[in-house]
Structure 1
Amino acid sequence: MYPNLTGLGIHDPKQIERYSLRQEAHKDVLKIYFLKQKGELFAKSVKFKYPRQMKSVRVDSSSQNYKDVSEINRNLTLVIDELNQITKPATYTQKDIKKKVLSDLRHLEKVVTSKIAEIEADLEKLK
């Protein structure tokens, strides 16, 4: 019923609770969250990275100038269509979007902080 999700190794799509999609450099990162099972402290999740497709698009019809643009991977759009059928995502208000952007910013801050700490620890080993 969901061939693209099955292709990702998800054999029980009914266990999917929600998903998130973000862009990192030239990749789209899809994270799928599953329903929390009894006795689990945290719900399980899986992460998939899709490279963005690069295209050269003519800037205007009168010149020979081209501009490189990236777009979402076709396979990812098919997976998202299936996920939307399962999760039936709600429409977001401007307040919800602001909350999500702030949440993404905090997540990025944590990732950068931990990476800096990791690099500093590696530098200490070199002394």
Structure 2
Amino acid sequence: MFPNLIGLGIQDPKLIERYSLRQEALKDVLKIYFRKQKGELFAKSVKFKFPRQVKNVLIDSGSHKYKEVTEINRSLTMIIDELNKITKPVPSPDADVKQKILSDLRHLEKVVSSKIAEIESDLEKLK
């Protein structure tokens, strides 16, 4: 049913909760988040990097000048289509960008706090 996600090694695509996509230099980074399972402190996630396709586009036919542009990998677009079928993302207006950033910041604070607590606990065990 989801051949591209299964091809990435995802055993049960129905456990996917959400995903994020960002660009780093000449790569697109896809991060897939799974629903938190019983007994887990944090939900699991996996990260995949896809090289961007580089194309030369004619910008001036008179002087035959070309410009190098990059675009998303075709296989990644098919994966995103499958992810959208699973997650059914709701388009958010620009006003929600601030709220999303604040939410991401709060999540990062929780992750860092939990990791610090885990490391401190491990240190206590060594005494």
Task: Give TM-score, length-normalised by structure 2.
Answer: 0.77
> What's the counterpart of residue 34 of structure 1?
34
Equivalent residue number for residue 89 of structure 1: 89
Give structure 1 regions of 4+ aligned residues with deviation exceeding 3 angstroms. 98-104
Residues 20-49 of structure 1 show CA distances to partners (whole Å, capped at 9, x for unaligned) of 000011100000000000110000000000
1:36 counterpart letter in structure 2: K
2:8 and 2:26 map into 1 onto residues whose CA distance is: 21
Q: Distance in 2 between matches of 1:57 and 1:98?
A: 35
The residue that corresponds to 1:53 in the other structure is 53
Please state whether the residue corresponding to 2:5 is helix, strand or coil. helix
Structure 1: give runs of 5+ residues left out of the alignment: 108-127
Give, in angstroms, the shift of residue 95 of structure 1: 1.8
Q: AA paired with 1:62? A: G
Deviates further, 47-56 or 90-99: 90-99
Identity of aligned residues (%): 70
**Which ranges in structure 2 are unaligned for 5 or more consecutive residues?**
109-127
Paired letter, 2:2? Y
Looking at structure 1, the residues matched to 49 and 75 of structure 2 have their Cα atoms a distance apart, in angstroms, of 11
State the distance in 1 between where 2:100 and 2:76 align: 21
Q: What residue number does 1:122 align with?
A: none
Change (3 A) 1:101 1:24: farther
Q: RMSD in angstroms over aligned alpha carbons?
A: 1.7
Amino acid at match of 2:75: N
Q: Partner of 1:17: helix, strand, or coil?
A: strand
Q: Distance in 1 between matches of 2:55 and 2:8?
A: 26
Taking the aligned partners of 1:89 and 1:70, their CA distance within structure 2 comes to 25
State the one-letter code of the partner of 1:35: R
In structure 1, the residue corresponding to 2:83 is in which secondary structure?
A: helix
Counterpart secondary structure, 2:60: coil
1:1-127 pair list within 5 angstroms: 1-100=1-100, 103=104
Bigger mean CA offset, 42-51 vs 61-70:
61-70
